[in-house]
Structure 1
Amino acid sequence: MLTTHNPPDSLDRPEAKSRADAARRAFSGRPRKATSGEGGLAALLVSPTLLVLAIVVLYPTIVALKDSFYGTPGLDPKTGFVRDHDPFVGLDNYTGIFGAAGDRFWNAFWNTTFLTVTTVALETVLGVAMALIMHRALRGRAVVRASILVPWAIPTAVTGLLWRWIFNSDGVANTLIGRQILWTTEGFHAKAAVIIADVWKTAPFIGLLVLAGLQVISKEVYEAARMDGAGVLRQFWSITLPLVKPALLVAVLFRTLDALRMFDLPYILIGAQKTSVETLSMLAQDQAANVRFGPAAAYAVILFVYVFLIALAFVRLLGTDLVPRRRTEVPA
């Protein structure tokens, strides 16, 4: 049998060099740079989204930041007449928040943080459980899915009124526990009422997103794990959670950002100016309702910065591996 060998100078040919360079670029881990045509097309496709974001996010943020440097109209000490415009006060609104109004601000800040951490943690556990139940091939699965998702479809205002009726002094909650608790007054029980109502409403949201992640996991993976002797818990920790992690992180991030802006549920369920459940959004609304638009804008800016920092930290710490690194295909 005759065998042929490449000549020694075969690697010096232009075709071999180009293929070798392409292979080195493909496995170097560096993303391929987009051409000018691809960049222009990408900018054209993204421009409508950027325009909408600029109108509904960027412009209101800039206006709120500008308004936070102005005070409330009142008597002008120089002329003795009532001002017809908002006076420029610089950083006085911010110094007032952390100074004279510091106690109320920090109370609202810790209420917001506590309600966010507690509700999101409970909703994550219950949402994953709901997703596992909805994913199982059981009889009447469609009815189970619909019943689980009903709370998420109910408007928040209606949810607040519903749970306010449940937590009345002679409501269903007190009847079930056999005690007389004034849920809608000051105290930790007011926080508990908000947490129960919020978890009941929004846990299905996390369950829905996790269910979408479960449905893309191949059944062959679980069959192979069962053949290797893995139990139910081992399959959950080693297969289900790692593969559903991207959908779960997105759900937790969305719920965290939404809970940090919590307003309507505690406002309707417990009421305004309740120290136990007053959040930063409720504090800003209270200032605006009293025609103190400068301080209200300052509270809104602080809340915006808080939400932005939480989102940035969340993505930096937990979302770095969600976007796979792009590689260039090796030409044949």
Structure 2
Amino acid sequence: MADSRTPRAAALLVSPTLLVLSIVVLYPTIMALKESLYGVKGLDPKTGFISDSEPFVGLKNYADIFGDAGEQFWNAFWNTTFFTVVTVGLETVIGVAMALIMHKAFSGRGLIRASILIPWAVPTAISGLLWRWIFNSNGIANELIGHQILWTTEGFHAKVAVIIAEVWKTSPFIGLLVLAGLQVISKEVYEAARLDGASAPRQFWHITLPLVKPALLVAMLFRCMDALRMFDLPYLLIGAHKDSVETLSMLAQSEASNVRFGPASAYAVLLFLYVFLVALAFVRLLGADLVGDEDGSGRRRGRGRRKPLFPRRKEVAA
């Protein structure tokens, strides 16, 4: 019989975390939602006097975003989505490659691991200024390609600059989580696969990738949520009010800097809903892989007997 004190003890243990989350997440979210229902201080059309308080406008801020400011909103929306899809895709491929390199046993592995993880340790503000110097008109990037490209101006090249800088900085994050997944795979699994005649690509596809998939999906989920809120890197690298790289976070910051807290909160709420829906869809579609697909006994669920991944080679009769 289960101990009746277990649920109470579990609730007591998680209560500090829930309290902190309520303070730093739930309360600001509710206040942002409330603020998005108010307009900007200014001339009150009813009285003809300057209003000292923000007037209640209901859903007018949201109507303006999808109406008068619709073009600006959708441009930022597609920029945000484009950056997320491209950067996370490239980071996944490069991060897995980094993890495989760091997992290999060779002389100087510690130095290689440290050098790979350095970009992740660099603050984003420093990283943005560093890449702004690299992508300067007389910078290293133009010297290497032999062409004069104005990377930090409007255009697709500005998107490319942001993608390169973002992938350089955050690929080690995925590599680090995948490396943790690689280190729990038993060497006997690979030895058995080699005895069955499996080549290195087949071992990666049928052993390495499935076993590190939960860690890889968690890393991709965190990176998707982080990329959807991208602000500081394009802001520092390219600049504000650039249509080619403007994101939803940059729109919210621009409104707030102009003391338009109602519209800024509306943008923030829409961004929160976007991130929430993406994370919810990610967990719903891939939730079984995030936590593993095992039953209570620790055995993989499935019907019938599975075929071996690497069938033994037939013995040749003497």
Task: Give me the whole-angstrom Cα distance separating, in 1, the residues matched to 2:23 and 2:230.
Answer: 23
Q: Deviation digits for residues 135-190 of structure 1, max 9, x if unmatched?
A: 00011000000000000000000000000000000000000000000000000000
Is residue 84–residue 224 contact of structure 2 (8 Å, CA) maintained in 1?
Answer: yes
Displacement of 1:328 in angstroms is: 7.3
Is the aligned partner of 1:141 residue 2:101?
A: no
Task: Give me the whole-angstrom Cα distance separating, in 2, the residues matched to 1:328 and 1:115.
Answer: 42
Q: Which residue of 1 aligns with 2:284?
A: 316
Is residue 215–residue 290 contact of structure 2 (8 Å, CA) maintained in 1?
Answer: no
CA RMSD, Structure 1 to Structure 2 (Å): 1.3
Secondary structure of the residue that 1:277 maps to in structure 2? coil
Is the aligned partner of 1:37 residue 2:2?
A: no
Q: Deviation digits for residues 214-253 of structure 1, max 9, x if unmatched?
A: 0000001000000100000000000000000111011000
Q: Which residue of 2 aligns with 1:327?
A: 296
Is residue 190–residue 277 contact of structure 1 (8 Å, CA) maintained in 2?
Answer: yes
Q: Which residue of 2 aligns with 1:61?
A: 29
Structure 2, unmatched stretches of 5+, are 299-318
Q: Which residue of 1 aligns with 2:271?
A: 303
Structure 1, unmatched stretches of 5+, are 1-32
| Matched residue type, 1:266 | P
Is residue 217–residue 290 contact of structure 2 (8 Å, CA) maintained in 1?
Answer: no
Secondary structure of the residue that 2:5 maps to in structure 1? helix
Task: Give me the whole-angstrom Cα distance separating, in 2, the residues matched to 1:41 and 1:107.
Answer: 49
Q: Which residue of 2 aligns with 1:236?
A: 204
* Larger gyration radius, structure 1 or structure 2: 1
Q: Deviation digits for residues 250-308 of structure 1, max 9, x if unmatched?
A: 10000000000000000000000000000000000000001100000000000000000
Q: Which residue of 2 aligns with 1:280?
A: 248
Q: Which residue of 1 aligns with 2:158?
A: 190
Residue 130 of structure 2, aligned match among 162, 165, 181: 162
Q: Which residue of 1 aligns with 2:224?
A: 256
TM-score, length of structure 2 as denominator length: 0.91
Displacement of 1:35 in angstroms is: 5.2
Q: Which residue of 2 aligns with 1:11?
A: none
Residue 190 of structure 2, aligned match among 207, 215, 222: 222
Q: Which residue of 2 aligns with 1:9?
A: none
Q: Deviation digits for residues 23-42 of structure 1, max 9, x if unmatched?
A: xxxxxxxxxx9653111111
Is the aligned partner of 1:171 residue 2:139?
A: yes
Secondary structure of the residue that 1:320 maps to in structure 2? helix
Displacement of 1:320 in angstroms is: 2.1
- How many residues align? The count is 297
Q: Which residue of 2 aligns with 1:70?
A: 38
User: Percent of aligned pairs with the same residue?
Assistant: 77
Task: Give me the whole-angstrom Cα distance separating, in 2, the residues matched to 1:83 and 1:109.
Answer: 33
TM-score, length of structure 1 as denominator length: 0.88
